[in-house]
Amino acid sequence: MQIIKGMQPKPVKGLIYGPEGVGKSSLAAQFPKPLFIDVEGGTSRLAVDRTQRPTSFAHFKQMVGDIVRDQMGYQTLVIDTADWLEKLAVKQVCAQNGFAGMGGNNDYGKSYNELAGMWSDLLTQLEADLIETGKMHVVFLAHSTTKKFELPEEEGQFDRYQLDLEKKVSPLLKAWCDMMLFVNYRTIVVVDDKTKTAKGQGGTRRMMFAEHTAAFDAKNRDGLPREMDLGIGPIKHCFVGLSAKAPNAPTAVAAPAAAAIAGPNPPINPPGMATPETGCSVGIPPMPKKSDAPAAPTSVLQPQHVALQHLLAGAGVTYEQLNAVLAARGKYPENTPLGNIDPAFIEGYINPHWAKVLEMINSAAVAA
């Protein structure tokens, strides 16, 4: 029996949902080399690469098959949107069975079971042919709707945001994805003490939510913060695990005394979306001044090192600050080059505890 230990980087299986117009497609346009299957037909004003608009669910499956055979250099498949794709699937189910609509003709749930089966087959195909093979990231976009919800163990109903999908399709998609982000405007409800009336304020700041709450579903397996400004910066480090070499992947670097590897440029966010982010220099820090001898060549940066660079840049901190925290906790000596950090340590310690690590970095900066 083969035992596989540690984390296994794989492409992203993502689901991003929220109300219309919040910026889901604009966010997806910032993902690594995206290719849109624009089922909804809403990306015409975005400078993105897209396929023709599918005319049926079978046509969509044919497109996926073509992309599986040849990714054409693209790295992220964006399906925009899941609820419009479901409309095509519903039409196919009704046409195949001669139904006027879902649940009609006393079909005893047959139409809904067929619909769920079609989605299950699609998700299995994407998993096997694109995710497991490391060919592409796959991200679904979807609209949200507000519905009444009741917990089995509690009395009473309350409103919450949910996927605008059929009740047998929504659980399949939520279970399939590794990253489920709810995106929305930041709204503050203010209650007047005298009149006891409530008024909503805000709406200009757009947010991503990565943890489940009573108001919406969300999840992630990358240690993301609970709330983030809408933009690629906070989640860029998650897009690793592709089998193909990235176009600008760093190579081995010999680090003389004053050498440093520049970090990635700050992400470019569409106007009005995320707050501006500043770039920073991250990577191999300068060698101590007391030694004039050239440093030994460092090891080749692995995908985990590149992802860590992105993570640091998105948070606006430097590798030197991280290295100081690791040294203070006895994890690595001071001035350890980035390329000498064990990738397993990044995946097993830094990524799962990133919120705590960032807190220690910021605390150390304040103390200094």
- What pLDDT is stored for residue 199 in this prediction? 67
Residue 300 banded pLDDT, cuts 50, 70, 90: low
Does 327 have pLDDT greater than 70? Answer: yes
Closest CA to 76 of 227, 179, 172: 179
pTM of the model: 0.64
Q: Could you tell me if 135 and 243 are in contact, meaning their C-beta atoms sit under 8 angstroms apart?
A: yes
- What pLDDT is stored for residue 156 in this prediction? 67
- What pLDDT is stored for residue 20 in this prediction? 94
| Dist CA 217 CA 87 (whole Å) | 22
143-149: average pLDDT: 90
Neighbours of 209 (CB within 10 A): 23
What 4-7 contacts at long range (C-beta under 8 Å, 24+ apart), as own/partner pairs, is: 6/344, 6/347, 6/348, 7/344, 7/347, 7/348, 7/351
Q: Which residue has the higher pLDDT, 60 or 199?
A: 60
Render pLDDT for 114-124 as a digit per residue (tens, 0 to 9): 999 999 999 99
Q: Which residue has the higher pLDDT, 340 or 129?
A: 129
Closest CA to 72 of 26, 119, 33: 33
Closest CA to 308 of 273, 268, 272, 280: 280
| Dist CA 214 CA 195 (whole Å) | 27
Percent above pLDDT 70 for the chain: 80
